[in-house]
Structure 1
Amino acid sequence: MSVITGLGVVAPNGVGVKEFWAATLTGRSGIGELDRFDTSGQSARLAALVRDIDPAEHLPGRLLPQTDVSTRLALVAAQSAIEDADLDTAAMTDYDMGVVTANASGGFEFTHREFRKLWSQGSQHVSAYESFAWFYAVNTGQISIRHGMRGPSCALVAEQAGGLDALGQARRSIRAGVPLMVTGGVDSAFDPWGWVSHLSSGRVSADPDPDTAYRPFDTGASGYVPGEGGALCILEDARSADDRGARVYGELAGYAATFDPAPDSGRPPGLRRAAELALADAGIAAGEVDVVFADAAGVPELDRSEAEALREVFGVRGVPVTAPKALTGRLFSGGGVLDVVSALMSIQDQVIPPTFGTGTVPAEYGIDVVLGEPREARVSTALVLARGRWGFNAAVVIRSSPNGS
């Protein structure tokens, strides 16, 4: 059995689990004007940025010139998760600890800065750290180096679904005999080129109002707001966690991933199948799920498709559905894992956070979206869904710890 014993959060609306969860319940949003560069003339100007942290206060000075924004945030999240789990990594066997992270963008800001130097000043001005700072696996590498973790490690690239895929891969390593894994996802791509990449999807909301720009499942949904940050978890073998007296947030009970068929195939998207496979992997029926943390794209056709999948699995209004990411924007590899943190907090506090910003859900969706304010409820099992562009789907089942710790 794989259990989660530590959480590290770097979200646009709160750094640390306590701050993030308080923001999630009270509706404090991290969405605002994108002010890291001039966005005048662009079709959209809102983003969800991590502002409440200075990496220089958390990381050794030698790491700062080596790392992109996303890697600095990942290192902070990893350190927070390790401290939250009360781990003394120096006292552990290095090959008993591994790292699996997801990353959708790589070191976007870092590499584009070095490209500008190459073109305008010449190759002698390009940082030697460019050789790895751009790479999708750099977060995994830097975390493993800093904390002496030499167990099985890898990086996954599946856009928004990637963070859940990282959890699934980490669980495979636990089942293969590795006692502990650091796992999750963190992303950032907010330089001028990164912003153009975001906008090229055609799914970014052009609404200039931070309160209404991202309204998943709403009748007025017009796209999403991109964000940065995410979360990392400490995933442990339950027996090892028990041996060291660890506090357990919950169990990673089920996981599945699917891929959508070709657009013209006439076959349905794979999200429903991912949900059903994750439930089967956990050994539970749909009726045992207390809440679904939805992918919640905020794009009408995608919202409609997800609502259909939820109706097919749970029945009409068969389970409460929520999307706290309306306060953080879509964080790509970090989004699904941040929802896992929310699911664990829901289980801990027996409350479902609402989908702030969403007001009216089309009746034909047939889903019970939690709106307006937190809903007190019995929560012991949660399903978390994520979809990435180009067909990635992932689902995980989170449930309360069997021993109640």
Structure 2
Amino acid sequence: MTARAVVTGIGVVAPTGVGADAHWAAVLAGTRRTGPITLFDPAGYPTRIAGEVPDFDPAGFTDTRQRVQTDRWTHLGFAATRLALADAGLPEEAPDPYRWAVTLASSSGGNLFGQRELQRLWGGPSRTVGAYQSIAWFYAASVGQLSIRHQLKGPCGVTVSESAGGLDSLAHAVRTIRRGTPIVVAGATECPLSPYALACQLRSGLLSDVADPERAYRPFDAAAGGYVPAEGGAVFVVEELGHALARGARIYGEITGWAATHDAAPTDPQAGPDPTHYARALRLALDRAAVRPHDVDVIWPDALGVPAYDRAEAAALRAVFGATTPPVTTQKPLTGRAHQGGSALDAATALLAFHHGLLPASAGPEEPAAGCELTFLRRPRPPRSRIALVGARGFDGFNSAVVLRGAAPPPASGT
């Protein structure tokens, strides 16, 4: 039989807090966690707010050697991985290294580390960079460091598809499990908050320049005007079902379907992306999960917050589900958009919703924009089918989707 892949551990390090419990509490409360950028002085930039992980101290998750060799993006990855392993009831070092693997998503790499070293190169008298510049900025740095730290020596890799990457890492984890590796660490973190990282994002023309955090990031809203950048994300322990059951692990849910497509054409910034291939990814994920569209309990969309992109996403959802979609919910206005970390965080929120038996209300829109009239979840409600569809779109045409089936709730006491 084909091996089945389940999630047994979740580690969250996000603007909503450190740990899955903190994140879930903030989601239920609808607490907005975006605000002024503090990681550097953004005074000269039109975008000056972001989602930062509050009170994050990497010393609690890494040793001194690891900290000086790596960027904050990797520090967040260290933290999320340790939290996920602990949540899964697994040791921090693999007892059988070649049967454990790690596959994370990445896009921009070590921005703060690279910024510091470039400033030293071009702004200081030494005209040199530190020895670790060659590895700390590299897009595979987090995977390499986690492989070393936790002795994850099975088939390891990095998916690079911008925001779609967080979902692609979960799909790759399932394929790795089906090839015989019982435990895979998957997911993504991101820290796109440095002067040059912000400048790169501003070049796209998709960032919000609204100064009020309460109104800066409004996906699908008539007042939408761009996204707010964010750091953080989520890491998962993905495990072969039989292996998880044999050790008595708690199971959050199963990854039952996935798909990735590409637009294969440049995006018109005025018209937005063609929804055709995103819709195809959504359909393929449902087909591979053997799920009919009307059985979907809830959808977590990409929710970029740029009008043309939001309309295209709404069009893709209607192409798959018809005029009336399943409930749609997004918490990105609360956290900001953490690129590949953001789609991983959406998957974590979906699994936590099934675990707690409550689908969270969407953080907006207040007034859906024309063409974005979806079935937004306005208040929390219990799940029905326990099936979630999570979608993500990466810049330059990447489209991904995963179907998550929440584990059955534990039996009531006394039954």
TM-score range, shorter chain: over 0.9
Matches within 5 A, 1:6-405: 6-90=9-93, 92-121=95-124, 125-263=128-266, 268-362=275-369, 364-371=371-378, 373-401=379-407
SS in 1 for 2:396: coil
* AA partner of residue 292 (structure 1): I
Tell me, yes or no, if the aligned pair for 1:216 and 1:326 is still in contact at 8 Å.
Answer: yes
* AA partner of residue 289 (structure 1): V
* AA partner of residue 384 (structure 2): R
Tell me by how many angstroms 1:366 deviates. Answer: 3.6
Tell me by how many angstroms 1:378 deviates. Answer: 2.2
Tell me by how many angstroms 1:34 deviates. Answer: 1.1
Q: Gaps (5+ residues) in structure 2?
A: none
* AA partner of residue 22 (structure 1): A
Q: Identity of paired residues, percent? A: 45
Q: Distance in 1 between matches of 2:203 and 2:359?
A: 34
Q: Distance in 2 between matches of 1:120 and 1:207?
A: 32
Tell me by how many angstroms 1:89 deviates. Answer: 4.8
SS in 2 for 1:8: strand
SS in 2 for 1:37: coil
SS in 2 for 1:164: helix
Residue range with higher mean Cα deviation, 37-46 or 385-394: 37-46
Tell me by how many angstroms 1:14 deviates. Answer: 1.4
**Cα 1:83/1:264, change in 2 over 3 Å:** closer
Tell me, yes or no, if the aligned pair for 1:279 and 1:285 is still in contact at 8 Å.
Answer: yes
SS in 2 for 1:135: coil
SS in 1 for 2:234: strand
**Cα 1:33/1:350, change in 2 over 3 Å:** same
Q: Distance in 2 between matches of 1:235 and 1:210?
A: 35
**Cα 1:302/1:267, change in 2 over 3 Å:** closer
* AA partner of residue 397 (structure 1): V
* AA partner of residue 328 (structure 1): T
* AA partner of residue 348 (structure 2): V
Could you give the per-residue CA deviations for residues 91-140 of structure 1, whole angstroms, max 9, x where no partner exists?
Answer: 62100000000111111111121122222346675221112111100110
Could you give the per-residue CA deviations for residues 289-339 of structure 1, whole angstroms, max 9, x where no partner exists?
Answer: 100001011111111111111111112223000111111111111011101
Q: Distance in 2 between matches of 1:90 and 1:35?
A: 34
SS in 2 for 1:308: helix
Tell me by how many angstroms 1:402 deviates. Answer: 6.2
Tell me, yes or no, if the aligned pair for 2:357 and 2:409 is still in contact at 8 Å.
Answer: no
Q: What TM-score, normalized by structure 2, do the two folds share?
A: 0.93
Q: Gaps (5+ residues) in structure 1?
A: none
**CA-based RMSD:** 1.9
SS in 2 for 1:369: coil
Q: How many aligned residue pairs are there?
A: 404
Tell me, yes or no, if the aligned pair for 1:16 and 1:80 is still in contact at 8 Å.
Answer: yes
